[in-house]
Amino acid sequence: MSLPPQKLPRRHAQRRTLYHGRHKTPPLDLPCAEVPQAIKSQAKKRQKMPISDASDSSAASDSDSDSDSESDSGYSSNRSLDSEAEHYRKIRAEFVVAGPNLANPCDETKAMMKREEQMWKLTRKGDPVAALKTATAEDFKTFLVWRKKRKNSRIKRQATMSTYWHVLSMNYQRTAKRYMDEGILADLRNWIPTLGLDDSEVEKSALYVEDLCVLQNGLWVRDQEKFPHERLRVQESPINIFAGCTSTRPAALVGKIPLLYEDIEFQVFPPLIKGRRPAVRLILNLQHIKRSGGKKKP
């Protein structure tokens, strides 16, 4: 049984009509008129309730404590930032004292640097170390021309001159404790080709099949010496084959960075003609191939 609609207060009815008119939602039928009266009385009570001084003081104390905590937090964060900045300043100062990190050459390169150092001393009457530190592009060019035209000089190829210049620049780095100016490096790099040296590609002949057969026959048939372990004899046989079929220098296979088992991969392919054996292919990964004149050799 539904109750007859009750009469709402005028102000409350206007507010509800205005709100639902904007949002296009139908007003709810209130079961009785006591609900808006209760809402109105509660609103009047809130308006008459005074604000106590205690609440003001507690609110003020809360705001003061918040501001104090924020100021303390900001002070501690600034202090930590200052200490961290000082820590990295000390690290930077250590890097300044240490200087640039220079390359650590191998024994063969050190021997070449020693020889080039002796050659540099032959062209200097005064202090060769001070002369090297203060040398200009013109000084380096004069030295390389002397290297080319000196008695018993066998420099015929451009790659050889580029190697001598590279070793001399490494001596400069070791002596001056800094890297050479990029302008000097670019100048000499562009100037060396003007010397008229041979820059043609040298065809390196591969190991012929007849030579490979002689090596294998000597290894397995004629050799009477004993290996420290016979596994080495087994490994030497494929190394000879790899050196022949890839025209690879032996040092690239058994040098300081030797060929590893992980560099060898076998792949099996199905036969092209049904009934025949599958095809086996060997993939050899040669990561350490000699580079000459800045051109990577296949």
pLDDT tens per residue, range 24-37: 555 544 444 444 55
CA distance 285 to 298: 11
pLDDT for res 250: 67
78 belongs to a structural domain? no
Q: What is the pLDDT of residue 211?
A: 86
Domain's final residue, options 141, 166, 195: 195
Which range of residues forms the domain containing residue 147?
A: 107-195
225-239 pLDDT tens trace? 888 888 888 988 888
Return the higher-pLDDT residue of 173 and 206.
Answer: 173
On whether residue 69 sits in a domain, the answer given is no
Distance CA 134, CA 187 (A): 16
CB burial of residue 5 (10 Å; 0-12, 13-18, 19+) = exposed
Domains in the chain: how many in total? 2
Domain-embedded: residue 160 = yes
180 in the same domain as 241: no
**Euclidean distance between the first and the last CA atom of the chain, given in angstroms as a whole number:** 99
The answer to whether the beta carbons of residues 168 and 128 sit under 8 Å apart is: no
Q: Is residue 88 part of a domain?
A: no
The answer to whether residue 1 is domain-embedded is: no
What are the tokens at 223?
């050799």
What's the pLDDT at 239?
87
Residues 215 and 281 in one domain: yes
What is the model's pLDDT at position 79?
78
Say whether both 182 and 215 belong to one domain: no
Q: What is the mean predicted confidence (pLDDT) over 30-55? A: 50
pLDDT, the chain, mean: 77
Looking at the chain, the whole-number percentage of residues with pLDDT higher than 70 is 68
pLDDT over threshold 60, residue 69: no
Q: Global pTM?
A: 0.49
Asked if residue 205 has pLDDT above 60, the reply is yes
Our measurement of the distance from residue 241's CA atom to the centroid of its chain's CA atoms, rounded to an integer in Å, reads 36
Report the range of poorest mean pLDDT among 6-10, 110-114, 180-184.
6-10
